[in-house]
Structure 1
Amino acid sequence: MPKASLSSLPISALFGVIKPSGPTSMSIVNEIKTLVSSSRLFMPSDVAAKNSASGPRKDKGKGRRKERKGLDAKIGQGGTLDPLADGVLVIGVGKGTKKLSDFLDCVKEYRTTCLLGCETDSYDSEGSQVRSAPWKHVTREKVEAALEKFRGEIEQTPPIFSALKMDGKPLYEYARSGTPLPRPIERRKVTVHSLELVDWLPSGSHSFRFPEKKFTDEERAKLARSLRGAEIGGADEEIMNEPDMKSAAADAAPEDGVEDASDGPPGFVLQMRVSGGTYVRCIAHDVGHALGSAAHVVTLTRLTQGRFTMAQKELESSSAESSEDTIPETRRCIPWEVFSRAVEKRDAGDEEDLDEEGWKPWEREVIENMEVVE
């Protein structure tokens, strides 16, 4: 793709944003949309001026949407990050939206923190406790050994609490209603190009804890009915036989230097480069099972997505060894704070300082880090 060129405005482009943990990907896109729709960089000058004069759209009624129809910039993102996750979010504006599908199947790099001893419905800390399991027997060496079977081409079963659809209905709706799945969730082949244990977190060395919310007996029964409908063997045993938390705590009681269970179970940090379609949460979940325990994700960062990276130094430290699928040309992503400051100033009615070429700070950041799409 061509380098950034402002010879002809408005332009279409791709650029990367560093999403923070907390907000949804769509909320990030919508906030950026209000900025680009009022920027001559992406919209005709007369339209940008009109949108800027009208201020942020607050009225979501049908009449207001109709009035603004055709005045908003076309914008999208190249791969959703869960609210819990942070890191690279690729944004496309104008014709750039047609290039976003390229980032669904590209190689991505992640770093994730996994907590042992608890399995959740969503496979991460945003969900509810489904099953607890002993963790005392797990060591750093055992985690490193278990990772071997998850490298290369592997098969994954997406979690039932996901937005994937079966016969037009999201999987999580089957689980929540207790409706039997019409068939087993289809396993998918993915490629794990690299998978390394980069840190071991002993009990007491971190502040991560199990989610407070727990599955009720009714919710667990509904989930079991959904899985039984798909004839998934062992569903009752896996879901219903939840070890008592006191037993798990007793199993991790002080013995031969083992830290007290009140300090929380241990965790571990993984770094991986994977193909498109890979569920990082599934890797954490499946590694927990392989260890004879349980595990869920408590932090998740997307370090790179295709040629977009959080920072060049991040890429160099996490991918020091090049390989065939390493993309030589990388582009730095823009911190979300650059855009959030612009939104705050606009909403407060404050004017942003312009540089000598008449660009706002957020526009200058985009200009310096974008790819123009012809």
Structure 2
Amino acid sequence: MPKATAKYPLSGIFAIAKPSGPTSMSLVNDVKKHVVGSRLFVEEAKLKSTKGSGTSRRKSKYGREAVKIGQGGTLDPLADGVLVIGVGKGTKKLTEFLDCVKVLGEFSYDVNLFMAWIQEYRTTCLLGCETDSYDSEGAQVRRAPWKHVTKEQVEKALEPFRGEIFQTPPIFSALKMDGKPLYEYAREGIPLPRPIEKRKVTIHSIELVEWKGADHSFRYPEKKFTPEQQKAVETALKGVEESTTVQDNPETDTDTEAVPTAFVIQMKVSGGTYVRSVVHDLGHALGSAAHVVTLTRTRQGRFALEPSEGDYGCVPWEVFVKANTDPGEADEDGWREWEREVVERLDVIEDKKTHPEAKT
């Protein structure tokens, strides 16, 4: 815990180890339920006012106003790993995690400082099937041959992905064009008014770290696109590319039940990089199709699942699960387990105006 000279409430940034399944926002909301009731982050006067209010509605409203909280980069429900959370004035620092390209321009003279903002991912790719979401949570869009792909071909195909690249976000995404989400164009069969704007991202490294082959339990999603849905996507894309087709072309031999090849790649990227799009585009580069079946963010800036010297670790999500069901007794200083776990991994943002003597 902070030393006795520390001034409360604190502002700062910490990370949780997100499990696969729930949305990032649902986890942030769960964390906020605890944060708004803790003197670690909220002024005691506000805590007393909240406790003294007569209705749950007022408590909820006061809790929302008591302290700001936000996240530094959403993870898909499928994904797990590092999820950065800012509290109080820490929310103003979250843009640094969302815009690593900007950081590169500002600190290009200091490689070590820049590397502190790199994001690292480890993802498992499954060949032979493309999905609308580019991961296993979506529906099959098309099938493609995969048996010709070798480990050596994957390693060679990764080369063009290194460095600065221009990446096209998925058409099945919430990005808007003329006020309309891209996925609505795709689902309704409305031609895109113009090409999806490509984004410049930086892939600092990307490596094949494990060749699973058929030694895995992953399978294609059961949900499939209907011919009508495939036609709608074609129509949307033909608004900007006449030759676009969405057509199944699976393995043609009799071994249709064969387990498709899977492999694991690890990458260090700048903020804003779509890992799912990297895998999707890699599938095309291999003359096949591919989608993500596992995705772990192992590092986001100075927060890591396996921290080294100078890094911050992540609060296990089980700590907050336990706080919901069995918060336990506070220690002699009045702190509960979740508060101790958070503050051990908290990057405190000092407010010199409010707490000129703040120390940790």
TM (norm. structure 1) is: 0.83
Preserved contact between residue 38 and residue 52 of structure 1 (Cα < 8 Å): no
Q: Residue 234 of structure 1: CA displacement? A: 2.3
Q: Per-residue CA shift, 1:9-65, capped at 9, x if unaligned?
A: 1111110111110000000000000000110101122433555688996xxxxx668
TM (norm. structure 2) is: 0.86
Mean Cα deviation higher: 283-292 or 261-270: 261-270
Q: Check if 1:206 corresponds to 2:216.
A: yes
Q: Per-residue CA shift, 1:118-167, capped at 9, x if unaligned?
A: 00111111111011011110111111111111111111111001111212
1:60 is aligned to: none
2:71 is aligned to: 77
* Equivalent of residue 357 in structure 1, options 333, 336, 341: 333
Q: Per-residue CA shift, 1:186-226, capped at 9, x if unaligned?
A: 111111101000001112x1000001110111111111111
1:335 is aligned to: 316
Q: Distance in 1 between matches of 2:53 and 2:242?
A: 59
* Equivalent of residue 367 in structure 1, options 340, 343, 349: 343
Count of residue correspondences: 332
Q: Distance in 2 between matches of 1:94 and 1:116?
A: 44
Q: Per-residue CA shift, 1:293-351, capped at 9, x if unaligned?
A: 11000000001111111122xx6xxxxxxxxxxxx731111111111110223xxxxx5
Q: Distance in 2 between matches of 1:54 and 1:123?
A: 47
1:12 is aligned to: 11
Q: Distance in 2 between matches of 1:187 and 1:227?
A: 15
Cα pair distance change 1:185/1:55, threshold 3 Å: farther
Q: Check if 1:87 corresponds to 2:81.
A: yes
Q: Check if 1:250 corresponds to 2:253.
A: yes
Preserved contact between residue 51 and residue 59 of structure 2 (Cα < 8 Å): no
1:216 is aligned to: 226
The residue identity in structure 1 corresponding to 2:89 is K
Q: Distance in 2 between matches of 1:164 and 1:111?
A: 24
Q: Check if 1:268 corresponds to 2:277.
A: no
**Secondary structure of residue in 2 paired with 1:89:** strand
1:232 is aligned to: 241
Q: Distance in 1 between matches of 2:235 and 2:38?
A: 52
Q: Residue 263 of structure 1: CA displacement? A: 4.3
The residue identity in structure 2 corresponding to 1:114 is C
**Secondary structure of residue in 1 paired with 2:31:** helix
2:94 is aligned to: 100
Q: Distance in 2 between matches of 1:151 and 1:198?
A: 15
Flag structure 1 segments of 5+ consecutive residues without an equivalent. Answer: 58-62, 254-260, 316-327, 346-350
The alignment-based identity, stated in percent, is: 60
**Secondary structure of residue in 1 paired with 2:94:** helix
Preserved contact between residue 38 and residue 49 of structure 1 (Cα < 8 Å): no
Cα pair distance change 1:121/1:145, threshold 3 Å: same
Cα pair distance change 1:179/1:64, threshold 3 Å: farther
Preserved contact between residue 33 and residue 72 of structure 1 (Cα < 8 Å): no
Flag structure 2 segments of 5+ consecutive residues without an equivalent. Answer: 101-117, 352-360
Cα pair distance change 1:225/1:361, threshold 3 Å: same
1:291 is aligned to: 286
Q: Distance in 1 between matches of 2:317 and 2:46?
A: 25
* Equivalent of residue 204 in structure 2, options 179, 193, 204: 193
The residue identity in structure 2 corresponding to 1:266 is T
User: Residues 307-318 of structure 1 correspond to what in structure 2 (within 5 A)?
Assistant: 307-312=302-307
Cα pair distance change 1:79/1:67, threshold 3 Å: closer
The residue identity in structure 1 corresponding to 2:181 is P
Q: Distance in 2 between matches of 1:282 and 1:30?
A: 28
**Secondary structure of residue in 2 paired with 1:262:** coil
Q: Distance in 2 between matches of 1:224 and 1:180?
A: 9
The residue identity in structure 2 corresponding to 1:275 is S
Q: Per-residue CA shift, 1:64-85, capped at 9, x if unaligned?
A: 6885465442100000000000
Q: CA RMSD in A?
A: 2.3
Q: Residue 353 of structure 1: CA displacement? A: 2.0
User: Residues 145-224 of structure 1 correspond to what in structure 2 (within 5 A)?
Assistant: 145-203=156-214, 205-224=215-234
Q: Per-residue CA shift, 1:249-308, capped at 9, x if unaligned?
A: 627x3xxxxxxx534201110000011111111111111111111100000000111111
2:25 is aligned to: 26
